[in-house]
């Protein structure tokens, strides 16, 4: 079984119904939402997922709620994302859900990141890490401020010029490729403007505040702003 990170197209070719390939904390992961009729059903599914993951010497991020179980799978930063082992575990999880009479879906799933445009991330990032009690990870040309438990949105600092006026904050929302156009259509109907269409889309609200609807799938350009 290959330990090499898989591409989005390889994930599509794997035919994983109900799973999305989204970025969370700088890492591609498989995501699904298992709809359950009761907390007890969800708990049973969680226990069975845990047993299967142990058998495979793997793991899963699980979020149990009364009406759903959210699942995230990745082989970690060492593998740089999703591998065949994650796909195998995803198939086992899909079978567990089907046996329990539960539905898998990914339409309602997305991952949000906050981006602060700044010409000097070395000066700005430590403040946000301190005031939010977050972890700062930085290099020569980047800085990320993240929740140590990877629950709250990641903040990253995007290099920009110093000309004024300029946008300071914007959102990046990662969605499945099939959800990009519905999000764009809904935003335009709500008074927004399409700024550009890249790997996803950049949109602006009526006041000029921007959001990037991001996806793994190449279209006309690159991800985000």
Residue 24 has pLDDT above 70, yes or no: yes
To which residue do tokens 């593998």 refer?
79
Residue recorded with tokens 């970690």: 76
Residue 198 has pLDDT above 90, yes or no: no
In this predicted model, which residue has the larger pLDDT, 208 or 22? 22
Mean pLDDT across the chain, nearest whole number?
90
Share of the chain above pLDDT 90, in %: 72
> pLDDT tens digits for 43-53?
999 999 999 99
Helix (H) or strand (E) holding 27: strand 27-35
Coil, strand or helix at 223: strand
- The set of residues, in sequence order, having a beta carbon less than 8 Å from that of 85 and lying 6+ positions away, is 1, 3, 56, 58, 75
Tokens of 36: 């359950």
- Sorted by sequence, the CB contacts under 8 Å of residue 144 that are 6+ apart come out as 26, 136, 137, 138, 154, 155, 156, 157
Q: Any bridge partners for residue 199, and if so which?
A: 223
pLDDT at residue 199, rounded to an integer = 75
Q: Which of 23-27, 51-55, 98-102, 166-170 has the lowest mean pLDDT?
A: 166-170
Residue 222 pLDDT class (50, 70, 90 cuts): very low
- Model pLDDT, residue 1: 66
Contacts of 199 (CB under 8 A, 6+ apart): 214, 215, 216, 217, 218, 219, 220, 221, 222, 223, 224
pLDDT-wise least confident of 14-18, 100-104, 167-171: 167-171
Name the domain count of the chain. 2
Same domain, 17 and 100: yes
Q: Give yes or no for residue 163 having a pLDDT over 80.
A: no
Answer whether residue 196 is part of any domain. yes
62 and 141 in one domain?
Answer: no
Instruction: Clarify whether residues 23 and 70 are in a common domain.
Output: yes
DSSP-assigned beta bridge partners for residue 20: 31
The answer to whether residue 220 sits within a structural domain is no
Convert 33-56 to b/e letters by CB count within 10 Å (16 or more is b): bbbbeeeebbebbbebbeebbeee
Query: Per residue in 91-137, pLDDT tens?
Result: 999 999 999 999 999 999 999 999 988 888 888 899 999 999 999 99
Assess whether 90 and 135 both reside in one domain. Answer: no
Give the residue numbers spanning the domain of 67.
8-105
Q: Of 75, 105, 135, at which residue does a domain stop?
A: 105
CA dihedral 213, 176, 45, 25 (to 10 degrees): -50
- Site of tokens 């700005």: 124
Instruction: State if pTM tops 0.85.
Output: yes
Same domain, residue pair 198 and 126: yes
Q: Above 80 in pLDDT, residue 162?
A: no
| 83 DSSP 8-state letter | -
Asked whether the beta carbons of 100 and 41 are under 8 A apart, the reply is yes
């Amino acid at each position: 079984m290959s330990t090499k990170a898989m591409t989005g197209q390889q994930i599509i070719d794997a035919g994983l119904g109900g799973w999305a390939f989204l970025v969370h904390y700088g890492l591609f992961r498989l995501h699904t939402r298992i709809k359950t009729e009761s907390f007890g059903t969800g708990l049973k599914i969680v226990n069975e997922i845990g047993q299967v993951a142990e058998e495979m010497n793997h793991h899963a991020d699980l979020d149990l709620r009364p009406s759903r179980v959210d699942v995230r799978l990745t082989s970690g930063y060492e593998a740089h994302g999703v591998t065949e082992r994650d796909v195998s575990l995803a198939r086992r999880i899909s079978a567990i859900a089907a046996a329990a009479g539960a539905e898998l879906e990914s339409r309602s799933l997305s991952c949000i990141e906050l981006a602060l445009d700044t010409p000097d991330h070395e000066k700005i990032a430590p403040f946000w890490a301190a005031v939010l009690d977050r972890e700062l990870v930085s290099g020569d040309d980047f800085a990320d401020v993240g929740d140590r438990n990877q629950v709250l949105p990641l903040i990253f600092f995007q290099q920009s010029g110093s000309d004024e006026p300029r946008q300071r904050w914007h959102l990046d929302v990662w969605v499945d490729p099939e959800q990009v156009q519905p999000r764009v259509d809904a935003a335009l109907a709500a008074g927004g403007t399409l700024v550009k269409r890249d790997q996803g889309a950049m949109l602006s609200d009526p006041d000029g505040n921007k959001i990037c609807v991001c996806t793994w799938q190449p279209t006309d350009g690159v991800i985000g702003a």
